[in-house]
Amino acid sequence: MTDRKMRGGWYYPNEFWFSPAYQSLIPSAKNLLHCLVTELRWTTKRKKKQYTNNGEVSFTEVDFKKRFNCCSATYLKARNQLIEVGIAKITYRGGMGRGDMSRYRILVGTNLLVSQERWRRYPDENWTHDIPKPKKQMIGIKTQWKKGQSGRKTKATLQKYTLNGTNHPIGADPKDE
């Protein structure tokens, strides 16, 4: 786990704090938001903060799992919720190899135009279509069941050897002789 800076902080405006988008977040999504915001870097120009790496911010699943002692599903649920309510936007989807991390843009408190802050429109709109879908499983495609197949054989194979039914076993019962 990389060492994160523990000093400093981030100001949540009241408008964001009381918004339906923030209030609907689960605790792990709030933790992930704070971790992503911690990764933001800024410079000051004319007494105004300018964020230099917004859109390039990342916090890996491995780091999140180590920091908060949780499972992968918790991280994915938190990430998906941040995207759904419009607080974060994925700019690059990673996972193509070691060190290839997804990158995000934070859409709150980063001096964006009000029209770019999606979270303001959350109850009326959501961004579930922006949530990355799992990549297709390519292993075993030819051997998977096709749509409409059940895997059962349609014809019974033990008809001539069945005891309970119209077809009697081959040969006579030794007790009847």
- The string over 116-147, giving b where at least 16 C-beta atoms fall within 10 Å of a residue's C-beta and e elsewhere, is ebbbbebeeebbeeeeeeeeeeeeeeeeeeee
Q: How many CA atoms lie within 13 A of 17 on its CB side?
A: 5
In this predicted structure, the answer to whether residue 3 has a pLDDT above a threshold of 60 is no
pLDDT at 87: 92
In this predicted structure, the answer to whether residue 7 has a pLDDT above a threshold of 60 is yes
Classified as helix, coil or strand, 81 is helix
Given a contact cutoff of 8 angstroms between Cβ atoms, the answer to whether 68 and 31 are in contact is: yes
pLDDT tens sequence across 25-47: 999 999 999 999 888 888 888 88
Domains of the chain, by residue range, sit at 14-130
Whether the model pTM is above 0.85: no
Sole residue written with tokens 């499983």: 137
**Cα-based angle 71, 77, 94 (whole degrees, multiple of 5):** 85
Q: Name residues whose C-beta falls within 8 Å of residue 167's C-beta, 6 or more positions apart in sequence.
A: 159, 160
Among the residue ranges 4-8, 11-15, 162-166, the one predicted with the least confidence is 162-166
Assign 3-state DSSP to the chain and report helix, strand, coil percentages, each to 5.
30, 10, 60
pLDDT at 84: 94
Sole residue written with tokens 């119209």: 166
Cβ count within 10 A of residue 54: 22
pLDDT tens sequence across 88-122: 999 999 888 888 899 999 998 877 888 888 899 99
Question: Which among 67, 15, 14 is positioned nearest to 36, based on CA atoms?
Answer: 67
162 falls in which pLDDT band (50, 70, 90)?
A: low
Q: Name residues whose C-beta falls within 8 Å of residue 147's C-beta, 6 or more positions apart in sequence.
A: none
pLDDT tens sequence across 48-86: 777 888 888 899 889 999 999 999 999 999 999 999 999
Task: Give 100-143 as a DSSP string.
Answer: ---EEEE-SSSS--GGG-GGGGTTT---GGGSPPPPPP-TTTTT
Architecture of domain 14-130 in CATH?
Answer: Orthogonal Bundle (1.10)
Q: Please state the rounded mean pLDDT for residues 132-148.
A: 71
